[in-house]
């Protein structure tokens, strides 16, 4: 299993006059995130700013990670865009990640 650090930011479908949870399609996006978290794909997810977010994901490859991320309803509707995805070597705390579901 490889870990990846993912940065998302607002896309052209993001409404800057609304908070994150008030964006169109929030319920579908949240259900998608919760589902992949329960599978062990999303290990850590959280905002960095009102529009940017950081995700730590576990996948067999970057191709698999990108394909799973592309399924996000917010990405499909343009609410989010992928800024970067990078492999991440865990040096401290690997045992805690190994204990996560998935």
Q: How much of the chain exceeds pLDDT 70, in percent?
A: 95
**What pLDDT does 96 receive?**
75
Q: Over the stretch 4-49, which tens digit does the pLDDT of each residue have?
A: 999 999 999 999 999 999 999 999 999 999 999 999 999 999 999 9
DSSP string, 46-66: EESSSS-EEEEEEESSHHHHH
The token duo for 95 is 């045992």
- Rounded Cα–Cα distance for residues 53 and 14 (Å): 13
**What pLDDT does 100 receive?**
60
Whole-model pTM? Answer: 0.90
Which whole number is the average pLDDT over 62-72? 98
Confidence of residue 1 (pLDDT cuts 50, 70, 90): confident
**CA 55, 87, 76, 37: dihedral to nearest 10 degrees?**
-40
Confidence of residue 101 (pLDDT cuts 50, 70, 90): low
- Rounded Cα–Cα distance for residues 57 and 1 (Å): 10
| Cβ count within 10 A of residue 17 | 6
Stretch (H or E) spanning 45: strand 42-47
Q: Provide the CATH topology of domain 2-98.
A: Alpha-Beta Plaits (3.30.70)
Every domain of the chain and the residues it spans: 2-98
State yes or no: pLDDT of 77 exceeds 60. yes
């Amino acid at each position: 299993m490889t870990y990846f650090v993912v940065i998302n930011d607002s896309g052209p479908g993001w409404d800057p006059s609304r908070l994150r949870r008030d964006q169109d399609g929030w319920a579908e996006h949240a259900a998608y995130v919760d589902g992949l978290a329960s599978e062990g794909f999303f290990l850590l997810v959280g905002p960095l700013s009102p529009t940017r977010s950081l995700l730590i994901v576990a996948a067999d490859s970057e191709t698999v990670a990108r394909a799973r991320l592309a399924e996000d309803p917010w990405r499909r509707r343009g609410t989010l865009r992928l800024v970067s995805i990078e492999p991440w070597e865990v040096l401290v705390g690997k045992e805690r990640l190994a204990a996560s579901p998935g």
